[in-house]
């Protein structure tokens, strides 16, 4: 009896990107004036020197994370020349969902006018998009899906303590999306995910809903120096791990797209990999830290600016509360 030939390997590739930023753009000067009314002192110079951030976008009172995700998703679908009904998997990475449940992915599914495909959220804070992309890649490789929408979307402005200048100047709102499709040629080359819950307290929102009331503190808390110290080390290790898995060298990277948290962390990671800073995609200056949205936002902006082109090798990496971190190496 003749054995059946082995099935050809199945891969996933990004075929479209999209993003969305709320209309309200808040410069450092705008934020400084607002904080002054609260008796909180800061300045454009203080913010830029410590973070590299000059502006960020905030949602209006009526917008939900699924609204931002829907715009980004439709733009990614258009770039991939697909319709919403072509999608068979939706994953939304967010820490600021529309509600406790159902997931923002299910709400987004309805807003896109489709039903039946798998839809769920991933919560890994600023590493969320890397986690979600890794899950989608695995599902496509195993045949559980063929065309996925992977989205990072956040409304972090609603978690901020505007009496704490060390955190409220850092974050913004936005969404970024990619379409990931099955392919017979490699796109995503390697992934690497990690977490260490022992460090949960250095970046968290230590509150929840209990009995119809907020229990604990619903505003963001961060130990900046501790986060900085951990971030640079784990980002380097994750980057080297995916390069080793893929049999590539750092010199093969055309673009490094890190989580847009702080320009010093981003530049520190590039230097550890001995990458020139002109290979670093930077949007933190205009978007702030948009958590799970930051990597797909930066990716889409660089693609639409013509900087990132098909055939190039990209390293995506994120680090966030949990403490979580991870990286994805891919050929576009």
Per-residue model confidence as pLDDT tens digits over 78-102: 999 999 999 999 999 999 999 999 9
Tell me the C-alpha distance between 211 and 183, whole Å: 48
Are 280 and 298 in contact, with CB atoms under 8 Å apart?
no
pLDDT digits (tens, 9 = 90+) for 260-315: 999 999 999 999 999 999 999 999 999 999 999 999 999 999 999 999 999 999 99
Query: Percent of the chain beyond pLDDT 70?
Result: 98
How confident is the model over 162-189, as a mean pLDDT? 97
Q: Which residue is catalytic, options 57, 259, 287, 301?
A: 259
Tokens (6 digits) for 122: 């991933």
Q: Which residue is catalytic, options 117, 204, 262, 289?
A: 289
- Which residue shows structure tokens 């290979």? 279
Length of the chain: 332
- Which residue shows structure tokens 């936002």? 297
Inform me whether the pLDDT recorded for 1 exceeds 50: no
* Band (4; pLDDT cuts 50, 70, 90): low
Inform me whether the pLDDT recorded for 149 exceeds 90: yes
CA 70 to chain CA mean position, Å: 16
Mean pLDDT taken over the chain: 96
How confident is the model over 204-228, as a mean pLDDT? 95
Cα 14-17-19 angle, rounded to 5 deg: 150
Tell me the C-alpha distance between 145 and 327, whole Å: 22
Q: Which residue is catalytic, options 28, 57, 117, 126?
A: 126
Query: Tell me, what's the pLDDT at 175?
Result: 98
Query: Tell me, what's the pLDDT at 7?
Result: 76
Q: Which of 180, 176, 179 is nearest to 154 (CA)?
A: 176
Q: What is the pTM of this model?
A: 0.97
Inform me whether the pLDDT recorded for 3 exceeds 60: no
Q: Which domains does the chain have, with CATH numbers?
A: 11-183 (3.40.47.10), 188-331 (3.40.47.10)
Phi, psi of 136 (to 5 degrees): -65, -40
How confident is the model over 121-146, as a mean pLDDT? 98
**Neighbouring C-beta atoms of residue 216, cutoff 10 Å:** 12
pLDDT digits (tens, 9 = 90+) for 32-65: 999 999 999 999 999 999 999 999 999 999 999 9
Cis-peptide, bond into residue 102, ω within 30° of zero: yes
pLDDT digits (tens, 9 = 90+) for 238-267: 999 999 999 999 999 999 999 999 999 999
How confident is the model over 119-133, as a mean pLDDT? 98
Q: Say which residues have a Cβ less than 8 Å from residue 292's Cβ, sequence separation at least 6.
A: 93, 94, 95, 124, 125, 126, 127, 128, 129, 132, 152, 153, 154, 318, 320
Tell me the C-alpha distance between 132 and 175, whole Å: 14
Catalytic residue check, 106 = no
Inform me whether the pLDDT recorded for 2 exceeds 90: no
How confident is the model over 228-246, as a mean pLDDT? 95
Catalytic residue check, 289 = yes
Query: Tell me, what's the pLDDT at 8?
Result: 82
């Amino acid at each position: 009896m003749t054995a059946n030939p082995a099935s050809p390997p199945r891969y996933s590739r990004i075929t479209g990107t999209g993003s969305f930023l709320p209309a309200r753009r808040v410069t450092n000067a705008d934020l400084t004036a607002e904080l002054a009314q609260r008796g909180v002192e800061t300045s454009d110079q203080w913010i830029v020197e410590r973070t590299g951030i000059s502006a960020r976008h905030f949602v209006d009172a009526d917008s939900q994370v699924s609204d931002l995700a829907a715009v980004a998703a439709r733009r990614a679908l258009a770039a991939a020349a697909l319709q919403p009904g072509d999608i068979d998997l939706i994953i939304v990475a967010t820490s600021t969902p529309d509600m406790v449940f159902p997931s923002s992915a299910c709400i987004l599914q309805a807003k896109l006018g489709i039903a039946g495909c798998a839809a769920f959220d991933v919560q890994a804070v600023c590493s969320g998009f890397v986690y979600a992309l890794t899950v989608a890649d695995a599902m496509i490789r195993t045949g559980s899906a063929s065309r996925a929408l992977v989205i990072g979307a956040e409304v972090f402005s609603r978690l901020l303590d505007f009496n704490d200048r060390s955190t409220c100047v850092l974050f913004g709102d936005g969404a970024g999306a990619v379409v990931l499709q099955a392919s017979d040629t490699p796109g995503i080359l390697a992934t690497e995910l990690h977490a260490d819950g022992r460090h949960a307290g250095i970046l968290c929102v230590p509150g929840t809903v209990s009995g119809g009331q907020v229990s604990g503190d619903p505003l963001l808390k961060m130990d900046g120096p501790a986060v900085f110290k951990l971030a640079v080390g784990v980002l380097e290790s994750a980057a080297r791990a995916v390069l080793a898995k893929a049999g590539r060298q750092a010199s093969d990277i055309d673009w490094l797209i890190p989580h847009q948290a702080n320009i010093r962390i981003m530049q520190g990671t590039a230097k550890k990999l001995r990458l020139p800073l002109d290979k670093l995609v930077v949007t933190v200056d205009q978007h702030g830290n948009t958590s799970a949205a930051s990597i797909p936002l930066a990716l889409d902006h660089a693609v639409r600016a013509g900087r990132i082109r098909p055939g190039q090798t990209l390293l995506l990496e994120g680090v966030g509360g949990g403490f979580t971190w991870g990286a994805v190496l891919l050929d576009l």
